[in-house]
């Protein structure tokens, strides 16, 4: 079963569209037969996606740290909760997903997205990454990237491989097309032990 990692805020935000689209995304992940991997929080967009995915029958895996678990209690009923010691370990486990969707979020979400994008750029993985630009939330970030390229600070490679879409359906369809293009079936097996070890920096 394919697993979708969703990066997002533990807050709801001011625009009702954020929660609305988060709920639709979680539901569609379950309806399309995928699992959800996320940052384990029970509040904000995190909780909305997780509860919708659970209701739709998805397997849900949360990843957190002791400090985050105290500040952002997990959703009840998720199938597995990883509690690791550091944020680096948490991000490594989040990157075990087969594809990534980025909802609105703050510095934590942005850091997770950029690290995943950099690893793709460096050839660590070839998994699809999609920006779900709800209510044009990511427009300022995209404008920054455009400005950095105009000033010769950022190269042209990398971000071109990241679709920017407006709806959960478009986000999941973009990931499914990327899987199909790389010859990965939607029901491919989970990561092998060696792949998990490499993701966590552990010698095989």
Question: pLDDT tens for residues 62-91?
Answer: 999 999 999 989 999 999 999 999 999 999
Element (H, E) at 165: strand 164-165
Q: What would the pLDDT profile of 13-62 be if each residue is shown by its tens digit?
A: 999 999 999 999 999 999 999 999 999 999 999 999 999 999 999 999 99
Looking at per-residue pLDDT, the higher value among 6 and 145 belongs to 6
In the structure encoding, which two tokens stand for residue 135, read together? 């209510």
CA 54, 44, 83, 36 torsion-angle sign: positive
The pTM of the full predicted model, rounded to 2 decimals, is 0.88
Map out the domains of the chain with their CATH numbers.
3-194 (3.40.50.450)
- What pLDDT does residue 159 have? 77
Looking up tokens 């942005």 gives 110
Helix, coil or strand: residue 112: helix
Contact between 36 and 53 under an 8 Å Cβ cutoff? The reply is yes
Pick the closest to residue 113 from 199, 98, 104, 2 (CA basis): 104
């Amino acid at each position: 079963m394919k697993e979708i990692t969703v990066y997002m805020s533990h807050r709801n935000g001011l625009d009702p569209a954020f929660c609305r689209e988060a709920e639709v995304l979680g539901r569609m992940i379950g309806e399309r037969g995928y699992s959800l991997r996320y940052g384990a929080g029970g509040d904000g967009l995190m909780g909305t996606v997780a509860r919708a995915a659970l209701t739709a029958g998805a397997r849900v895996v949360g990843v957190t740290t002791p400090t985050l678990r105290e500040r952002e209690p997990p959703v009840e009923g998720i199938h597995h909760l990883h509690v690791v010691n550091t944020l680096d370990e948490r991000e490594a486990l989040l990157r075990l997903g087969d594809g990534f969707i980025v909802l609105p979020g703050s510095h934590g979400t942005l850091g997770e997205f950029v690290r995943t994008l950099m690893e793709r750029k460096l050839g660590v993985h070839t998994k699809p990454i999609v920006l779900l630009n709800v209510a044009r939330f990511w427009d300022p970030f995209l404008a920054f990237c455009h400005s950095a390229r105009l000033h010769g600070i950022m190269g042209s490679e990398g971000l071109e491989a990241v679709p920017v879409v407006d709806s959960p359906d478009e986000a999941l369809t973009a990931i499914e097309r990327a899987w199909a293009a790389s010859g990965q079936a939607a029901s491919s097996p989970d990561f092998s032990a060696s792949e998990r070890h490499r993701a966590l920096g552990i010698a095989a």
